[in-house]
Each structure stands twice: as C-alpha cells, then as structure tokens.
Amino acid sequence: SPARTALSPREAASRRKGKARRGRGKARNEGLLSKQKRSRRMKANDRERNRMHHLNSALDALRSVLPTFPDDAKLTKIETLRFAHNYIWALTQSLRLA
C-alpha cells in the first residue's frame, strides 16, 4: 500500500542505523588506516629481517662444512650454494665409483 512505502524521516533514520555510512567517516579513519599501514609495514620488515637473519645463519653453517682454500676466504651466498652443489655432486660420483 502507498502508506506503507512512504516513511517518515524518523522511521527512515531508524532503518538506516544498521547500514554503513559513506563519505563522512573517511577523514576520521584516515589516521587509523595510516597507523595500521605503518604497523603492518613494521611487522613485514621484522619478518623480512628475521628471514634474512635465518638465511645468513644457514649459509654460515653451510660454509663451515664446505672445504675451502684458503680458510679465511668467505664465499658469497651464490658461491656457497654453487660450491655446495658441486661438492655434493663430486661426493655422489665418488660413491658411485666406489
């Protein structure tokens, strides 16, 4: 019925209460969003720092078991990985021949 579809302003406002508003709250939330972004970035940086720390520790452990000459020369990351690959391959070949 027509009377049912026409709402008073008070009724319309009470029905909108549950719905999200658009536009007005944006300025209020920008500060909160920037804090959240900053917090996420700091956490991501911490995770990356820890990842690199663990990677470097693992490479140091790998360097300690690889035979290198001279002993004081530190291999780069890629050199360490290539050397380890070739060393494992050489050990495998020597086992196959034995």
24-38 per-position pLDDT tens digit: 556 568 888 999 999
Domain boundaries, the chain: 10-55, 65-97
pLDDT > 80? residue 79:
yes
Kindly report, residue by residue over 4-15, the tens digit of the pLDDT.
566 667 666 666
Residues in the chain: 98
